[in-house]
Amino acid sequence: MDENSQIISGKLIRMSKDTKIPICSKATPDEMAVDLKPFVDFQDEGLSLEALDKMIEDRLIPHLMRYDQSGFQSMFNAFPEKGAEFGAMIALSYNQGVTNWQVSPGGVMLEELCCKAMCRLFGFSPSADATFMASGTYGNQEALYLALHKQAEKEGFNLAEKGLKGFKDPSRLIVLTSKDAHFSIKHAVRMLGLGEESLRFLPVDTNRRIDVNQMKETIEKLQESKDIFCVFITTGTTSTGSVDPALPTAKICKEIGAWLHIDGAYGFAYSLVPEWKHLFEGAELADSLCWNPHKQLGIPIPNSLLFVKRWEDFGRMTIYSEYFNRREDPEPNPGLKSPPSTRPFSTLALVTSLRYQGMTKVIERLQSPLVAVKEFYENLKKESDIELCHQPDTGILCFRIAPNGFPEKELDNLQRHVYDRIMAERDRTISLTKLDDKVVLRVVAISPIVTTLALMETISRVRALAKEYKK
């Protein structure tokens, strides 16, 4: 297997680095449904693996998105890194459930060792611990539960037993976050029964980082009538990759006795890159932090971690049972730290990826798209027809194409037109989002194949498509 090859569906497939294949088929949802329908035509008789293989090759693969192309510039997905894929295949062959010692002693011990090693790698204190989660969404959810549990303890009761009705006045409970926080925070407060009314969204500065002065003012205003039990910041926001300042927020949280959760699902990996490390100063002070190795590290989905500053905080998640995860078990049981009872062997792919590449290569891999986006931004600063929406902290840039003399009121539609055309062409993907009330184009560089050149090619296409727009 050479450097340009990957094993996919058990087969050797040439990576598309040097070849020009569509990034995904152009099929409409209806056409795709026709192609895929035979898969769900369940029959009494089985199919041979050869027949299944052909069906997959002909009918499914053309419709899958190729994250291994430099034109994939829209989302946080990456093709599996080679070392990660190697570990994932082994995990798959043994199909280990890593909940407790009884089902996978080796899997459990490796997970425990890996969690501790990850805490050290990111500079958390020796009392920290981590748990593997299925996604950042669940990590954020568990973190908010832990924060609420702590608040309940302050009020003198056990949240696990009494639930929300233990609070004298649950309508006082508030989570402070930024307007750019990922929507999973809404899921979290919904699932906790607090509802979205418990969220207060803080404004962002010109770089779309949380505005600490506004945070202080808001806290002062709220303190009389509300209980701010959690401040939720993001180190690498989904829309612009902006890194909220952790250190001043940690100080504020300490003063007001609030739990600090950091959503580092996308961005926290970049704290390993020396030139970017300063942006994450103070992150190790957070009470909890989530991070997704299944994003830019190319670890197969799902692979996500939730860290806590004090290992004993995971005790609030613990439910013992009589058949496993027993109170008296001396061995480690990862299933005591987060809810799933059947858990994938996610650790192995992360471990094999880091060991296969070595940390020097891992950091180079992380750094490369950051440098590309920085250079891209510098290039675009000189262009009069590109409106830049922020200075990039990490690997994302939002901008608007705004040809000279183009009417302001038509600009949103122009961005939509360019986006629709790019996505229809299937040579590249970008994304469309809204910042405040403006529709903007967004590009993401998640892997080293997305170079400055590849990003500049997108700009050429954006310009050409903007010219086609009929007002």
Ligand X SMILES: Cc1ncc(COP(=O)(O)O)c(C=O)c1O
Beta bridge partners of 8: 11
Other C-beta atoms closer than 10 Å to the C-beta of 288 total: 28
Tell me how far, at minimum, the Cβ of 39 lies from ligand X, in Å. 25
Q: How far apart are CA 127 and CA 311, in angstroms?
A: 6
Q: How far apart are CA 2 and CA 11, in angstroms?
A: 14
Measured torsion, CA atoms of residues 95, 96, 99, 104, in degrees rounded to the nearest 10: 160
Contact (CB, 8 A) for 317 and 339: yes
Tell me how far, at minimum, the Cβ of 80 lies from ligand X, in Å. 16
Of residues 141 and 367, the one with the C-beta less far from ligand X: 141
Tell me how far, at minimum, the Cβ of 18 lies from ligand X, in Å. 30
Contact (CB, 8 A) for 89 and 8: no
Tell me how far, at minimum, the Cβ of 56 lies from ligand X, in Å. 25
Tell me how far, at minimum, the Cβ of 109 lies from ligand X, in Å. 26
Of residues 292 and 352, the one with the C-beta less far from ligand X: 292
Of residues 234 and 249, the one with the C-beta less far from ligand X: 234
Which residue lies nearest ligand X, judged by its C-beta? 136
Of residues 230 and 265, the one with the C-beta less far from ligand X: 265
Long-range contacts, stretch 6-11, CB < 8 angstroms, 24+ apart = 6/68, 6/79, 6/80, 6/82, 6/85, 7/85, 7/89, 9/53, 9/56, 9/61, 11/53
Of residues 101 and 307, the one with the C-beta less far from ligand X: 307
E strand or H helix that includes residue 270? none
Q: How far apart are CA 270 and CA 363, in angstroms?
A: 8
Q: How far apart are CA 370 and CA 373, in angstroms?
A: 5
Of residues 135 and 318, the one with the C-beta less far from ligand X: 135
Nearest-Å Rg of the Cα atoms of the chain is 24
Tell me how far, at minimum, the Cβ of 471 lies from ligand X, in Å. 35
Of residues 238 and 347, the one with the C-beta less far from ligand X: 238
- β-strand pairing of 386-388 with 396-401: antiparallel
Tell me how far, at minimum, the Cβ of 135 lies from ligand X, in Å. 3
Q: How far apart are CA 295 and CA 371, in angstroms?
A: 18
Of residues 305 and 354, the one with the C-beta less far from ligand X: 305
Q: In what order do the strands lie in the sheet with 259-263?
A: 129-133, 304-308, 288-291, 259-263, 227-234, 173-178, 199-202
Tell me how far, at minimum, the Cβ of 449 lies from ligand X, in Å. 20
Of residues 305 and 401, the one with the C-beta less far from ligand X: 305
What DSSP designation does 195 have?
Answer: -
Applying CB under 6 A, the residues found at the interface with ligand X are 76, 135-137, 182, 184, 234, 237-238, 263, 265-266, 292, 304
Q: In what order do the strands lie in the sheet with 386-388?
A: 386-388, 396-401, 438-444, 431-435
Tell me how far, at minimum, the Cβ of 151 lies from ligand X, in Å. 22
Of residues 181 and 402, the one with the C-beta less far from ligand X: 181
Q: How far apart are CA 176 and CA 226, in angstroms?
A: 11
Tell me how far, at minimum, the Cβ of 294 lies from ligand X, in Å. 7
State yes or no: cis peptide before 248, omega within 30 of 0: no
Return the closest-CA partner of residue 131 out of 148, 108, 103, 158: 108
CA 295 to chain centre: 6
Tell me how far, at minimum, the Cβ of 122 lies from ligand X, in Å. 16
Of residues 138 and 376, the one with the C-beta less far from ligand X: 138
Tell me how far, at minimum, the Cβ of 264 lies from ligand X, in Å. 8
Of residues 228 and 299, the one with the C-beta less far from ligand X: 299
Contact (CB, 8 A) for 286 and 261: yes
Contact (CB, 8 A) for 219 and 252: yes
